């Protein structure tokens, strides 16, 4: 078998800007060019997906970069078909780099006769020949247990902590971290500990799915610069209402740090017209033109973290070292 000399990255169509940014960052770290593998991922007239890899990948350590974001089904199928193409081309190892793992919200049976789609997707990924998964901020961490292969789940909180410490320099004593619901307390507490800020919770009650009937603020936010922390922002209805409730309870400013900006439907318009001073998201999902043009939406890069994680996997070194702010600080120096 040939000796593996460099990691090779192949990208689907879901988030090409992020894939190119990761390859540039890896080139910087390695001191040599690490380009994307030359391939085409196209569709026939009936929308069947076709993949052709133009480079030799026999015996190589392959990394497929593909978020399973909107359109989730198309992007998921691209990932599976690319994995099959690489497996049949005798790649030594195939790692799926999935910055945003779709279907993660369907991680348990909430009612009778409903699926656990996250487990189904995990099975499909495994059966396609993928041997490892690298993702970020899974909606539910127990999804790692749905896989029979190693899963490395990166966290956005160290990057968010670096950004908050820079954006609110000299004002950290006025910052309050807020969880938008009881289920997200662990995520919010983790970020609060990193920056030494207090924690508050917005308790929401729903009369029916998609509609929030009542919100209660647990904790005193009077005079505080509130930062709402969550993993996914979809239609932004709950987020914008939570911001209004916080302002009504005496907050001076409301900002939000959300890992995955799904931002579907009226989300961008809602955020633009809301009382939120800023919404900070990562580039795990490719930004639409509306998102990029929104005056109060800012995007922080994940390419430095993913590039280092890929190199650590390839080298057989620790990925968990990237959970620490001290480790990421030098990587993000001059970026945030």
Annotated binding site: 46-48, 105-106, 139, 181, 206, 230, 234-238
CB 271 within 8 A of CB 228: no
Annotated binding site for Mg(2+): 139, 181
Q: CA 169, CA 281: separation in Å to the nearest integer?
A: 20
Q: CA 113, CA 271: separation in Å to the nearest integer?
A: 35
Q: Cβ neighbours of residue 34 under 8 Å, at least 6 residues apart?
A: 6, 7, 9, 23, 26, 27
Annotated binding site for D-ribose 5-phosphate: 206, 230, 234-238
β-strand partners of 247: none
Q: CA 17, CA 264: separation in Å to the nearest integer?
A: 20
- Number of neighbours of residue 60 by Cβ within 10 angstroms: 22
Q: CA 323, CA 201: separation in Å to the nearest integer?
A: 24
Q: CA 169, CA 171: separation in Å to the nearest integer?
A: 5
Annotated binding site for ATP: 46-48, 105-106
Q: Which of 111, 119, 166, 204 is catalytic?
A: 204
- Contacts by 202-205, CB closer than 8 A, 24 or more apart: 202/178, 202/228, 202/242, 202/245, 202/246, 204/180, 204/238, 204/242
Q: CA 64, CA 22: separation in Å to the nearest integer?
A: 12
DSSP secondary structure, 217-233, as one string: EES--TT-EEEEEEEEE
Task: Indicate the burial class of 292 (C-beta count within 10 angstroms; 0-12, 13-18, 19 or more).
Answer: exposed
- Number of neighbours of residue 288 by Cβ within 10 angstroms: 14
Instruction: Please state the φ and ψ torsions of residue 329, each to the nearest 5 degrees.
Output: -50, -55
Q: CA 227, CA 232: separation in Å to the nearest integer?
A: 15
Q: CA 143, CA 152: separation in Å to the nearest integer?
A: 11
Q: Tell me if residue 204 is catalytic.
A: yes
> Could you list the active site residues?
204
């Amino acid at each position: 078998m040939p000796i593996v000399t460099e990691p090779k990255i192949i990208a689907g169509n879901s988030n090409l800007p992020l894939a190119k940014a990761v390859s540039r960052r890896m080139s910087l770290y390695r001191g040599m060019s690490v380009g994307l593998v030359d391939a085409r991922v196209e569709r026939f007239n009936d929308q069947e997906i076709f993949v052709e890899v133009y480079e030799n990948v026999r015996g190589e350590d392959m990394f497929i970069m593909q978020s399973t974001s909107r359109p989730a089904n198309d992007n998921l199928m691209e990932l599976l078909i690319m994995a099959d193409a690489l497996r049949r081309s005798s790649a030594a190892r195939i790692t799926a780099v999935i910055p945003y793992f779709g279907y993660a919200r369907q991680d348990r049976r909430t009612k009778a006769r409903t699926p656990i789609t996250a487990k189904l997707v995990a099975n499909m990924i495994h059966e396609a020949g993928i041997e490892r998964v690298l993702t970020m901020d899974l909606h539910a961490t127990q999804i790692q247990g749905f896989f029979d292969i190693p899963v490395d789940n990166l966290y956005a909180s160290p990057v968010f902590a670096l950004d908050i410490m820079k954006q609110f320099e000299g004002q950290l004593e006025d910052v309050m971290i807020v969880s938008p619901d009881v289920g997200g307390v662990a995520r919010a507490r983790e970020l609060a500990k990193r920056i030494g800020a207090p924690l508050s919770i917005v308790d929401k009650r729903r009369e029916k799915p998609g509609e929030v009937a009542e919100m209660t603020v647990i904790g005193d936010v009077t005079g505080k610069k509130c930062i709402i922390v969550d993993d996914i922002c979809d239609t932004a209805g709950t987020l914008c209402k939570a911001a209004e409730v916080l302002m009504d309870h005496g907050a001076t400013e409301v900002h939000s740090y959300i890992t995955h900006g799904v931002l579907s439907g009226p989300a961008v318009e809602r955020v633009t017209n809301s009382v939120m001073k800023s919404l900070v998201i990562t580039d795990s999902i490719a930004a639409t033109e509306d998102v990029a043009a929104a005056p109060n939406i800012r995007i922080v890069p994940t390419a430095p973290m993913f590039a280092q994680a890929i190199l650590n996997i390839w080298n057989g070194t620790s990925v968990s070292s990237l959970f620490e702010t001290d480790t990421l600080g030098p990587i993000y120096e001059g970026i945030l």
